Amino acid sequence: MTLTITKIAEDLAAGRCSSREIVDDLLARIKAHSALNAFISMDEDAARQGAEDADRMRRAGGGVLAGVPIAHKDIFCTSGVKTTCGSRMLADFVPPYDATVVEKMRAAGCVMVGKTNMDEFAMGSSNETSFFGPVRNPWDPDRVPGGSSGGSAAAVAARLVPGATGTDTGGSIRQPAAFCGITGLKPSYGRVSRYGLVAFASSLDQAGPLAQSAADCAHLLSAMAGFDARDATSLDVPVPDYAASLGKDLKGLRIGIVKEHFAQGVEPAILEVLREALREYERQGAVLVDVSLPNSAHAVPCYYVLAPAEASSNLARYDGVRYGFRAAEYKDLEDMYKKTRSEGFGPEVKRRIMIGTYALSAGYYDAYYVKALKLRRLIADDFARAFERCDVLAGPASPSTAFALGAKNTDPVSMYLNDIFTIPVNLAGLPALSMPAGFVGGLPVGMQLIGRYLDEAHLLNVAHRFQEATDWHARVPAGI
């Protein structure tokens, strides 16, 4: 099964296959590749029933996505299906409602085949912090798939599903997309509803699609985007037909080359892959423009004050009283709180809660949190100045290819630096994507494209034109 969402939609429309047939095939593939540990929850009966319902929808004139199988990151609430966030704290939690993204995708006719594995509460860059074990990279099972949406990325790369949802707080769609050789899009903050998305850092989290190609992501984004009155951060703006925006020529396109992103610290072979990708854009008529994001060097420390602070607040609700895990033995209420949180959260989540609580505490709020907010504004201003000179920004999605499982578990700072090129985008609320641009040592290299606020249509077209001229996105891992 190497079909894209676009091709599956064409085959379904032409009657060459049914959604039920595709779902049956994918369920068998997921079992055959269970060693990747890409999924946490499966409901085969519900998936087959959903496929049959989608086939009826298609016969009645359903839309492009009617009958297309997808997977949801296990951070989205799904009515009647476990939503664990990769944590012991929510290992048995079954929501009574659907997240807006799930609701919208179902309304479009998408068929959910399962919930994908993820770093615990989306905190991680390798998908090794999950209570349910690490996900393995289809290109090399001894390497990480990236995080926190590593299960979704691995599932798409292994062709277990043609598309999946993810969330991106500091690069959690783009970095795993880069490591797994697929396309992943983080939309502008507010473009996609966060209702029913279990919160990590509310001012940074954004849901988005992962798929083989930019064209596939365009179809998925069209379904999931839009205003939601249940989400106070949701934008009440029109949603373009992203697929209809594809195919425009790139003559005169100004691509900003961020000098800080092509500096020391990135593997030289990765930079050469990216330079060759940029030469393809020049062949299509684009012009390269040098730009600078001088405050981007401070993005990681800024992020690791703001994101843990918000996480400290959001995760305070997990106390063993309302829902989720509760310690089995305790002396009194306070002891129950302590033991529940100590036993229910993993080391990385506890680390970030402690950092965030410290940053928000009396005497340190102004010294750390307020200063980080000011720096966030400066980072956003850098992007605004850069876009005065160019239309999109281009650079690496990660300073390295996928690293070995366990290689960075004892060095949290080294792990955090994997997101050095993706974090600034979240701080500024901009749209960005990662797409395959080549290989180094048999492992995929992702190129990051960053666009102006709410300009996902243009960003997707720029990626699409590259993918029309190359086949990196169509490469399949050996054995898949």
Q: Where are the alpha helices (DSSP H) in 390-454?
A: 412-416, 423-428
Which two tokens mark 461? 């077209």
| 361 classed as catalytic | no
For the sheet containing 287-291, what is the strand order? 39-42, 111-116, 69-73, 163-168, 206-211, 183-186, 432-440, 443-450, 392-396, 254-258, 287-291
Question: Among the options 172, 234, 296, 434, which is catalytic?
Answer: 172
Burial class of residue 231, CB neighbours in 10 A (0-12, 13-18, 19+): middle
| 73 classed as catalytic | yes
Nearest to 320 by CA among 303, 304, 333, 307: 333
Question: Among the options 148, 149, 222, 234, which is catalytic?
Answer: 148
Question: Among the options 18, 19, 41, 73, which is catalytic?
Answer: 73
- DSSP state string for 272-336: HHHHHHHHHHHHTT-EEEEE--GGGGGHHHHHHHHHHHHHHHHGGG-SSSSSS---S--SSHHHH
* Cβ-based neighbours of 208, under 8 Å, separated by 6 or more: 165, 166, 167, 168, 173, 184, 185, 186, 187, 192, 217, 221, 224
* Cβ-based neighbours of 451, under 8 Å, separated by 6 or more: 392, 393, 430, 431, 432, 458, 459, 462
Rounded CA separation 400/179 (Å)? 9
DSSP lists the bridge partners of residue 207 as 167
Burial code (b: 16+ CB inside 10 Å, e: under 16) for 168-205 equals bbbbbbbbbbbbbbbbbbbbbbbbbbbbbbbbbbbbbb
| 34 classed as catalytic | no
AA letter at 269: A
Q: Are 86 and 121 within 8 A, CB to CB?
A: yes
Q: Which residues are catalytic?
A: 73, 148, 172
